[in-house]
Amino acid sequence: MSNKKDKAPRPSRIPAEEWDLICRARTGDGRAFELLIAQYSKRIYNIGLKMLGSSEDAADMTQETLLKAYRNLPRFRGESAFFSWLYQIAVNTCRDMMRSAYRRHENVFSDTDYEDAYAGKVADYAHMPESVYTEKETNAYLQALIDGLTPQYRLAVTLREIAGLSYADIAEVTGVSIGTVKSRLSRARAAMQKQLAQDMEQYPDLLRLIGKGGVKGEM
């Protein structure tokens, strides 16, 4: 059990307890791995829900992410925090699934087309389903708001609002600069605010769903 590699010195960014679990999981200890990912799997699932929209896809994505993490654990050297590494895998898995879904849907085979399809666009709310207003459920409406965002903006908002990451962490996970994260969030929120303001005019009931402040004034 005591392979030299498993006794690797603990990187300073990783807490001792977590590092211990990582080392044990590396040797094939499934129980240790489950403990290691216990606090993250739910968040990953919720990231999946927001990014992919369906609970089935989100569960698939979560399992895929965790398995990838398990397989690649020996490659984790603690250069970033463990959760950051794990979310990176999740984000990549999401991207892959979204790409293949897009391909299936649009019958387009190149990734460049996929990226270009959303180029310059922050959000597209032309296809907001009617049900989100009538169901009177906050979650459904918020999901619809996020769904309308193009992938990059959707990812930024998800990581910030659902996973609760700092700008620096989002930058690390998505591989862009902090400045980019800042501007993406700002633009995504502006787009969502605008849509929210519009919807509120049409469906005043939303005011109750979205909470105390209400939405006033033009953005």
Partner 1 sequence: MKCDEIRGQFSAYLDEELDAQARAKEEKHLDGCASCHAAWESYCALHHAFASLELEELPADFSANFRARLAKERKPIPPKKKLYQRAWIRVVAACACLLLVIGLVDWSWPSLNADTLNNATASEGMPTYELYTQDDSIASDSSAYSAGSNDFAISANDGEKVREESSNLQAKEQDMERKIIRNWNLSLQVADFEVAFDALSQIATTYGGYVVSGESYDSYSNAYRSGYIRLRVDAGQANAAVDEIKELGKVENQSFYSDDVTTEYYDAQARLVQYEAQESRLLALYEQATTVEEIIAIESELTSVRYEIDALTGQLKYYDQLTQLSEISITLYTPASDTQSVTLSGWSAFASDVRAGFLRNVNAVLNFFLAIVVWVLSHAPVILLFVLLVLVIFFWYKKRKKKKNKQ
Asked if 63 touches partner 1 (CB under 8 A), the answer is yes
Residue 12, phi then psi, degrees to nearest 5 = -65, -25
Asked if 128 touches partner 1 (CB under 8 A), the answer is no
- Integer-rounded Cα radius of gyration of the chain: 20
Q: Considering only CA atoms, which of 87, 105, 103 is closest in space to residue 155?
A: 87
What is the H or E stretch that residue 178 is in?
A: helix 178-202
Q: In the bound complex, what is the minimum distance in angstroms from residue 130's beta carbon to partner 1? A: 20
Q: In the bound complex, what is the minimum distance in angstroms from residue 100's beta carbon to partner 1? A: 20
Q: Of 108 and 167, which has the nearer Cβ to partner 1? A: 167
Asked if 54 touches partner 1 (CB under 8 A), the answer is no
Asked if 182 touches partner 1 (CB under 8 A), the answer is yes
DSSP conformation class of 149:
B
Q: Which residues of 158-182 are buried (b: 16+ CB within 10 A; e: fewer)?
A: bbbebbebebebbbbbbebeeebbe
Stretch that binds partner 1, among 78-86, 87-95, 115-123, 126-134 (CB under 8 A): 115-123
Q: How many residues bind partner 1 (CB under 8 A)?
A: 60
| Sequence-separated contacts (24+) of 169-178 with Cβ below 8 Å | 169/81, 169/84, 169/87, 172/80, 172/84, 172/88, 173/84, 173/87, 173/88, 173/91, 174/91, 175/88
Q: Of 59 and 81, which has the nearer Cβ to partner 1? A: 59
Applying CB under 8 A, among 84, 88, 92, 180 the residue interacting with partner 1 is 180
Where along the sequence are the contacts to partner 1 (CB under 8 A)?
5, 25-28, 30, 33-34, 41-43, 45-46, 49, 55, 59, 62-63, 66-67, 70-75, 115, 119-120, 138-139, 142, 145, 152, 160-162, 166-167, 175-176, 180, 182, 185-186, 189-190, 192-193, 196, 209-217, 219
